[in-house]
A = this chain, B = another copy of it.
Amino acid sequence: MSSINENLSHFFDTAFYNKNMSESSRKILSDHNVSITNPRILVLEALMDSQNPQTIDDLQKKLENKVAKSTLYRVLGDLKKINVLHEFTSPDNTTVVELLLHDTEHHHHLFCSDCGEIIDVGLSAEFEKLLSAEIEKIERKFNFKINDHRVEMFGTCTDQCSNCK
């Protein structure tokens, strides 16, 4: 319905992942040889609850003290280690975190300075090709091996934050 979900629907096998979040949390853990514990399942469920990046505070609220702060940070670290979690910082310097469920979901971020919302954005395949070419030039110029990139876009939603929930 919303353009956000529409835009990102290809990132999820929705039928699978939404059916039973506990089940898919377990699958993520076992697929990566990480032991299945209650706190890990709860954190994964909280992460799955939203497709866009969330703050640590968002997560803590959802978890309602069912997971200790130290455990939350530890679990997030575990998920980063197995590459299912991406952590970055918003323009107002808040740490945000998002699940990466497939390697295919390369995307970028759109930041609203009014409401703070962060929206995942895919760019066209043609543009990504041009960007890759440009990045190859940079690799040669600076003698770098570049293994990832991201385009950040900063602005404001123009109609009463309709995109921002």
Contact = CB atoms under 8 A, between A and B. Distances in A.
A110 B142 contact: yes
Contact of A142 (B119, B123, B127, B130): B119
Contact of A148 (B3, B139, B155): B155
B134 A123 contact: yes
A158 B134 contact: no
A83 interface: no
Nearest to A6: B141
Interface residues of A, number: 43
A156 interface: yes
A71 interface: no
Given A93-B89, A93-B95, A144 B155 contact: yes
Q: Kindly list the 7 A-B residue pairs having the minimum CB-CB distance in the complex, ordered from nearest.
A: A146-B155, A89-B89, A148-B154, A149-B153, A127-B134, A144-B155, A145-B155
